[in-house]
Amino acid sequence: MKICIFSCYYPLIKGGAEYQSKLLALEMKDDHSVFFISVGHDNEEIIYDDNIKIYCLKRTTLTEGLLLYYPFSKKMGAILSEEKPDIIYQRVLNSFSYHLSNFSVKNHIPFFLHIADNYCLSFNRSARSIVRRAMFSSIIANKTNFITQTKLQNALLARFGVTPILQIHNLHKLPDEIENRASREKNTIIWIGSARKIKQLELFIKLANLFSNNDNLEFVIIGRIDNTSYGESLKSEINLTSNLTYLGEQTNDFVNSYLTNAFLLVNTSVSEGFSNTFIQAWMRGVPVISLNSDPDDIIREYDLGRICDGDLIHLKNSLDEFFNNHFMYLETSQRCLSLSREMFSIEANGYKLKNALGIGKEVNQ
């Protein structure tokens, strides 16, 4: 079968949804023909990577956005008409989904839309949101096959009378080796992500300042901080925080390597879909302290860290608790290791996603 994945191509463009799409492509490419339509590049070209064909398209403009990407849809449609895929898979619900669903229904191609966040399923009374909702209604009417990450996303879809064909957590490769948590020499607290306002990086900086007198803890930020007024204010705060290091945007391999030696992962986002970094940390025995996000109540239910209900002091006290109770930390770390392998590995769950797309061996037999 020929499969189109409409997603930015990792690692040319980095992000959680991009990484998940790349993992899926690597799972499929030996048995199927896979190509990407990747938007957001400096130049338009066709490249090949690991036997995967990638159509690199330029960043869309503000004018194209105001025109609801109709000009772009012509370019996208030309590629799809030439390639003639058997299925189309998109990792993120956005304005492009409207045009993909229209093309799919007109050409009798199954369209699979994998939800990657909660925001895309939330609507209000703003003009932009009204347009988004109208486009979403059309996507539903075009008999789109929805895939979700969490029960909350299922509930949000149910408000529109939609039942997903599959709910599945993000998948990751198992690490080759895991360091003994008891032998760790330093206690590194890591924050990972792109510093958008919804991520609330400023709260992690405040947390580091609360521990400025503790020489046994170090705080590290990995991710992109843009050159905006908000980003520049964050950089200024980081420079004034003595126990905090900013490593910038890094590859996924670097992140995994750094997590292997970490003490805790901290998440300060207002909300998340299902953060890849949670899974990456748990697979390396690193508990997660999350200010707000607990997808499917996994942190609470399986005791894989702490959820702090939006309270920064609760977050500080949770960090103190893990630092001061070594036995409790090691027990939590071991749970993270064992449960993450059962719940999130490609080896354990990858076939479910391929079968939902109609390309798994169980389907083809």
Whether 62 and 29 have beta carbons less than 8 Å apart is answered as: no
What pLDDT, on the 0 to 100 scale, is given for residue 341? 86
pLDDT in tens, 246-261: 999 998 889 999 999 8
Whether 278 and 287 have beta carbons less than 8 Å apart is answered as: no
What pLDDT, on the 0 to 100 scale, is given for residue 365? 43
Entry pTM = 0.83
What pLDDT, on the 0 to 100 scale, is given for residue 184? 57
Identify the structural domains of the chain with CATH numbers, from first to last: 2-171+346-364 (3.40.50.2000), 181-344 (3.40.50.2000)
- Which are the contacts of 248, defined by CB distance < 8 A and separation ≥ 6? 222, 223, 224, 225
Q: In which residue ranges of the chain is pLDDT below 70?
A: 177-185, 361-365
Report CA torsion sign: 223, 229, 232, 234.
Answer: negative
Question: Which amino acid does the sequence have at 131?
Answer: V
C-beta atoms surrounding 154 within 10 Å: 18
pLDDT in tens, 62-99: 999 999 999 999 999 999 999 999 999 999 999 999 99
In terms of phi and psi (left: phi > 0; alpha: psi -120 to 50; beta: otherwise), the region of 143 is: left
In whole angstroms, give the CA distance from residue 130 to residue 99. 17
What is the arrangement of strands in the sheet containing 217-222, beginning at the earlier edge strand?
A: 244-246, 217-222, 187-192, 264-267, 288-290, 305-307
